[in-house]
Amino acid sequence: MAARVTRRDFLNGVAITAGGVMLQGCSSDANAATKVLLDPTTRFTPPDSFTYYPPMLTGMRGSHAGSFEVAHDLAWRGKKPKHYKTLNEHYDLVVVGAGMSGLAAAWFYRKKMGPDARILLLDNHDDFGGHAKRNEFHHDGRMVLSLGGAQNLESPSSYSKAAGGLMVDIGIDDKFVAAMEVRTPENMALAGKLEADNGVALPTPNGHVTIGGNWNAVMYGGKDYEQTVSKLPIPTSEQDILIDFFGGKRDFLNGLSLGEKWDYINSVSYNQFLLERVGLAQDTVPIMNAIILHLSGFSGWNLTVLEAIGSGASGIKSMGWLGKSAASVAGIFLDSLLEVRMFPDGNASVARLLVQKLVPGIAPNMKGPEDVAIARFDYSALDREDHNTRIRLSSTVVGVREVDGKCVEVDYVQQGAALRINADHCVMACYNNLIPHLCPEMSEAQQQGLSYGVKTPFVYANVLLNNGRAYSELGATFFQCPYDPFQWVSSAPNMTVGGYQPPRNPDDPMAVFMMNSPVSLAAPEGPLSGRDAMRLGRHKIYSTPFASYEQKIRNQLQAMLGKHGFNHETDIRAITVNRIPHGYAYPYLALDDPEWSEGQAPHEIGRAQFGRISIANTDSEAVALMDAAFDAAWRAVEEQTSS
């Protein structure tokens, strides 16, 4: 469980690290222009053909059609096949889930037990990598990459010995990490370049007002913040409050003692603070929430003041002496935003590096990190009989059980066929909430621990444009759009990492990267926990069809770029919507969760070894970071190989 900061820690000036890296920006939901809806579906092709290449599929991706229905039948209705065909396949290890934890578990097991170990990874999606998905476009003879999920290598120098060792094993050592920094342009705010121009965009009756400069610096009282705030299309009275708040001109906790201030920022939601103490109007609150929606996954209604500030929100300078006493915290987001590195397709390149090590036949000519972004993978090599490590996609596990303490039986459904295999050991590297349905023999306490957390839902969209001429006129690579369906919009990552050659100039094709959080910013009518907010957001994602997302994307980009000659009907070439209903791991919230004693938190109880079955995922660490996924995988493998 993430440790909470004590009053003594705070007064000693401990720096509270931000929960993630700032990303991108904006658009609108202005009047709808004529729609040109793209085909939202792509026909499944079995992975025995070289033409099968999931990164290039468009339409609805992420939790795509065919990836969730079997699991929902099991979890919601208790339905699964009654009879299974037992395959003549036995493995040393079966891994349920081919995301980052699952791939790492396979890597750690093979490294410890030797290359002859027989390993099978099963995944319900048609691609590997979990949330680390790659979106690949081709237009006018150029490849255009973007990320469809997990994106950052956050502080790789601080990884544990196990996680750091894995990174070195796949070629991401200190030398390569340093090269990533050099190969990332200074204008790439998405990749944590703090001095890069970034803006805010707000709708008006006459279209969007886009304001460039460095909006994130403005929110901390940076250069020209007063002049920038005065340009916002909001009432002057709201501008005046924001100027005071950003600049620390008033103590908005005036009248409270130091101890009372500390109790307040640990027990009151950030949005309540903005309304009651700062005095902002409800309509202005979204401007303050856009930065934390995608850094933490929650709105300011679910985070305390201290949690919100620790996730990138503004306000540390406006709490009187309590704020001024912690100068290291005052620069939390701008001056110590973590050591962030990124591939042009996000962490998908890390997944690809792992898969190439596990299944060399998938990309035999790939050298490593230096060309991972441009290597073509042969998906038909993933599940060959002559490989000791195999990855079987579009395979939803519906049952895992230990048999007489001697082996593990695993039942799964692939393309409607109910199949069964067995193994000496199993690592569950899937969603925690599903595990009790797969292993009903577990104790009630362990099942409750596994079911406690609710993952953060989100949507990443990528839009291929004929060229970047209109976008280049905005003057920044990304914008926050607090009132739009997609609250952040950015140019896709443009670093020359992994061999990738990004757009050379505005005449080249480009991709626009857009992020949507389905979490409501409206004041809750009654008690609404963070977990319930996540459940409502997940429902919203599943119930929104591709056509609705597409129209919102078109409206938003037209409103932002139309004044620069953009026409969505002719300038958009393709749209990929990555729907992630089960995203970031649940981190525990001060407003909702007690402080459990060591070893008694739900994720700790839930991850207990269950005979020949161990659990590895970020849920089991209650930390939504890639190195946590690696640490969980290492722990699970050690459990299964220690005796």
**Residue 50's pLDDT is what?**
57
**Residue 294's pLDDT is what?**
86
CB-based contact 221:247 (threshold 8 Å): yes
Burial of 338 per CB tally in 10 Å (0-12, 13-18, 19+): middle
Q: In 365-384, which positions are buried (b, 16+ CB within 10 angstroms) versus exposed (e)? A: ebeebeebbebebbbbbbbe
**Residue 207's pLDDT is what?**
85
Q: What number of residues does the chain have?
A: 643
Q: Give φ, ψ of 315 to 5 degrees.
A: 140, -15
How many CB atoms lie under 10 A from the CB of residue 235?
12
CB-based contact 589:303 (threshold 8 Å): yes
- pLDDT < 70: residue spans in the chain: 1-50, 321-339, 643
**Residue 355's pLDDT is what?**
98
Q: What does the DSSP assignment read for 578-609?
A: EEEEEEEPP---TTT---PPTT-SHHHHHT--
Tell me, what DSSP letter sits at residue 610? B
What is the distance between the alpha carbons of residues 302 and 521, in angstroms, rounded to a whole number?
Answer: 10
What is the distance between the alpha carbons of residues 32 and 75, in angstroms, rounded to a whole number?
Answer: 38
> Residue 138: beta bridge partners?
143
**Residue 192's pLDDT is what?**
81
**Residue 333's pLDDT is what?**
43
What is the distance between the alpha carbons of residues 18 and 330, in angstroms, rounded to a whole number?
Answer: 12
CB-based contact 507:469 (threshold 8 Å): yes
What is the distance between the alpha carbons of residues 239 and 232, in angstroms, rounded to a whole number?
Answer: 7
What is the distance between the alpha carbons of residues 493 and 502, in angstroms, rounded to a whole number?
Answer: 8
How many CB atoms lie under 10 A from the CB of residue 51?
8
Tell me, what DSSP letter sits at residue 180? H
User: Residue 586 corresponds to which amino acid?
Assistant: Y
What is the distance between the alpha carbons of residues 89 and 384, in angstroms, rounded to a whole number?
Answer: 12
What is the distance between the alpha carbons of residues 271 and 139, in angstroms, rounded to a whole number?
Answer: 44
Crossing angle of helices 626-641 and 100-113, rounded to 10°: 40
| End-to-end alpha carbon distance in the chain | 27
Contacts of 362 (CB under 8 A, 6+ apart): 355, 356, 377, 378, 379, 381, 382
CB-based contact 32:12 (threshold 8 Å): no
How many CB atoms lie under 10 A from the CB of residue 611?
15
Helix (H, G, I), strand (E, B) or coil at 132: coil
CB-based contact 126:395 (threshold 8 Å): no
**What stretches of 181-337 adopt beta strand conformation (E)?**
198-204, 207-211
Closest CA to 473 of 381, 581, 565, 564: 564
What is the distance between the alpha carbons of residues 105 and 630, in angstroms, rounded to a whole number?
Answer: 8
Q: Give φ, ψ of 465 to 5 degrees.
A: -110, 150
Q: Report residue 521 as tokens.
A: 């910013």
Closest CA to 312 of 292, 284, 327: 292
